[in-house]
Amino acid sequence: MLITPAHAQTAGAAGPGGLGSILGLAPLILVFIVFYFLMIRPQQRRVKALQAAVAAVKKGDQVVTAGGIVGRVTRVEDAHVEVEIAPNTRVRVVKATLTDIVGPNAKPAND
């Protein structure tokens, strides 16, 4: 006998196109769906909200840069903003490096 009975019984269940292969992928698909709704989608919303806030930055807003510099916007250009970080001390910052935009009536952190 060339094929043993045990091998012949399992060959049909694990064959290609069987329900077993689809059920084997179900946990992986379920993990990906949960990962998408708990991790990827909220991050995309935060990025979109930050991009809208950076595009709407205006003179007088208090901003925080990626380097941790906190200051008040004194001039807005297409790709840059001028930020006053101390009295009579202004720096030009690339808009893409802004990480937080606070309204113009925000109280400074050290006062």
Per-residue pLDDT of the chain (111 residues; tens, 9 = 90+): 566 666 555 555 545 556 777 888 889 999 999 999 999 999 999 999 999 999 999 999 999 999 999 999 999 999 999 999 999 999 999 999 999 998 767 665 555
Residue pair 63/57 in contact (Cβ under 8 Å)? The answer is yes
The fold of the 57-102 domain, in CATH, is SH3 type barrels. (2.30.30)
Residue type at 88? N
To the nearest 10°, report the CA torsion of 43, 46, 48, 53.
-160
> pTM of this prediction?
0.64
